[in-house]
Amino acid sequence: MESVNLIESFSLFKEDKNIDRATLMSIIEDVFRTMLIKKYGSDKNFDIIVNPDKGDIEIYKNRTIVDDEFAEDSFDYDPNKHISLTDAHKIEPDFEIGEEVTELVKLDEIGRRNVLSVRQNLVQKILELEKTGIYNKYKERVGDIINAEVYQVWKKEIMLLDDEGNELLLPKTEQIPSDFFKKGDSVKAVVYKVELKNGTPSVIMSRTAPTFLERLFEMEVPEVFDGLITIKKIVREPGERAKVAVESYDDRIDPVGACVGMKGSRIHGIVRELKNENIDVINYTSNAQLLIQRALSPAKVTSVKLNEDTKRAEVFLKPDQISLAIGKGGYNIKLAGKLTGYEIDVFRDNDEATADIEDVDLIEFSDEIEESVINALQAIGCDTAKSVLELDVTDLVRRTGLTEDVIEDVKAVLQSEFED
């Protein structure tokens, strides 16, 4: 509109924020029509032409020509809708009563205050459109992995920028404990949730959600991406350990082998992204006992007893497997419980005669067994009565250097304790 280009900045804004041409034109026209209604009481006799490419807008007022007497004396005369024949002839001498006169509305007629109001309304409308666009875009992408750049690091969260400059948040609680990022770093995370706070979209990212690990498998394992292998369930202790139950509907495909890859080639990329998080990939089965055995990997389970009413499982293992079943920090047994849905209790695997009886430390038998004999047994890892009873005489003689008679006497003393 002549000297003042009202929408030049918004054309640039359109390019930056990917607002389509039709939408921008519609917003600009709506804002100007609102202004016309406010100033003239109606916008029905106005035409608005918007050219966002040139940053230009033109407003035309259409009025019907009436005779001079009607213009001077009639209460129905409206200067915004009518124009007298005399005034019309000043524009074009050939005009006649009943014809329509179209005039360009100039800026000084609109008024400086109205022009500034239009600018403010345009900014507000376009910002609202941008926010709605971001919200809708990321609402549809919840669960997808996004690559973003670290823009600012705070104590409790990190601000990321996507390829279009949209702000994303990665809270400290959604970061792997060993994560460390600085400005300019590239970060891979999954869209965890999208919220509207006071009309402003808040996009929360996560690197600790099970979905993040699932998407990494889809990226690294083509069979998972194609649906040939299904991930049934994922449980994680971020940065420490994860367990992934997988299933293949094609008997020719080994789901675990496909996920791990040749010499671990596929799983290594995922492990690196998760800061060396240990990942156990297991074959899913609907057999609860077998699933529990597999979930406690790398420990080897001897037997499992289930209580379906309480959802508890009693797992029996050899003494040297118990620490493996529990795992560092208890993560292995904790995750196995989450994966299977059972509360898992671990027991030493003993024979039927001693299975339900508490074990006793060897030191408790110092009044019946010589100290040197107890020391010899402890030196080979047998520090409890049951750990000695589980080994045969020949094996104990070979490993301790004690005589067969001494070993048999020791076993008799220990066995009598349980029989009593």
For residue range 102-128, list pLDDT tens digits in order: 888 876 677 667 767 777 777 777 778
Q: What pLDDT does residue 2 have? A: 41
pLDDT classification of 6: cutoffs 50, 70, 90: low
Q: Please, where are the H alpha helices in 143-277?
A: 210-220, 222-225, 255-260, 265-273
Asked whether 354 and 386 are in contact (CB, 8 A), the reply is: yes
Pairing of strands 241-248, 278-283: parallel
Enter the tokens of residue 116: 């500034």
**CB-based burial of residue 84 (10 Å sphere; 0-12 exposed, 13-18 middle, 19+ buried)?**
buried
| Omega prior to 52 cis, within 30 of 0 | no
Q: Which tens digit of pLDDT belongs to each residue from 68-107?
A: 888 777 777 878 788 888 888 888 888 888 888 888 887 6
Asked whether 188 and 273 are in contact (CB, 8 A), the reply is: yes
Residue 347 has pLDDT above 80, yes or no: yes
The amino acid that residue 314 corresponds to is E
8 in helix, strand or coil?
helix
Cβ neighbors of 48 (< 8 A, separation 6 or more) are 29, 32, 33, 57, 58, 59, 60
Query: Using CA atoms, how far apart are residues 271 and 317, in angstroms rounded to an integer?
Result: 29
Enter the tokens of residue 232: 């049934």
Q: Which tens digit of pLDDT belongs to each residue from 22-48?
A: 777 777 788 888 888 888 788 888 888
Query: Using CA atoms, how far apart are residues 205 and 169, in angstroms rounded to an integer?
Result: 6
pLDDT classification of 420: cutoffs 50, 70, 90: low
> Homologous superfamily of 141-206 in CATH?
Nucleic acid-binding proteins (2.40.50.140)
Q: In the block, which residue shows the tokens 């809270």? A: 171
Asked whether 328 and 306 are in contact (CB, 8 A), the reply is: no
pLDDT classification of 208: cutoffs 50, 70, 90: very high
pLDDT above 90 covers what percent of the chain?
41
Residue 18 has pLDDT above 70, yes or no: no
State residue 268 phi and psi, 5-degree precision: -65, -40
Q: What is the CATH number of domain 210-348?
A: 3.30.300.20
**Beta bridge pairs of residue 201:** 196
Enter the tokens of residue 366: 């110092």
Angle, CA of 298, 299 and 301, to the nearest 5°: 135
Query: Using CA atoms, how far apart are residues 196 and 393, in angstroms rounded to an integer?
Result: 72
Q: Which tens digit of pLDDT belongs to each residue from 148-184?
A: 999 999 999 999 999 988 999 999 999 999 999 999 9
Enter the tokens of residue 189: 């995370």
Query: Using CA atoms, how far apart are residues 274 and 269, in angstroms rounded to an integer?
Result: 9
Query: Using CA atoms, how far apart are residues 201 and 199, in angstroms rounded to an integer?
Result: 7
Instruction: Tell which residue, 43, 54, 36, has the closest CA to residue 118.
Output: 36
Instruction: Assign domain 362-419 one CATH number from 3.30.1490, 1.10.30, 1.10.150, 1.10.1060.
Output: 1.10.150
Q: Is the CATH number 3.30.1480 carried by domain 8-132?
A: yes
154: DSSP letter: -
Residue 403 has pLDDT above 50, yes or no: yes
Instruction: Tell which residue, 151, 142, 277, 162, has the closest CA to residue 215.
Output: 142
Query: Using CA atoms, how far apart are residues 70 and 74, in angstroms rounded to an integer?
Result: 5
Pairing of strands 167-171, 157-161: antiparallel
Instruction: Tell which residue, 229, 189, 186, has the closest CA to residue 211.
Output: 189
Could you tell me the residue ranges of all domains in the chain? 8-132, 141-206, 210-348, 362-419
365: DSSP letter: G
Query: Using CA atoms, how far apart are residues 327 and 332, in angstroms rounded to an integer?
Result: 5
Higher pLDDT, 199 or 56: 199
Asked whether 410 and 377 are in contact (CB, 8 A), the reply is: yes
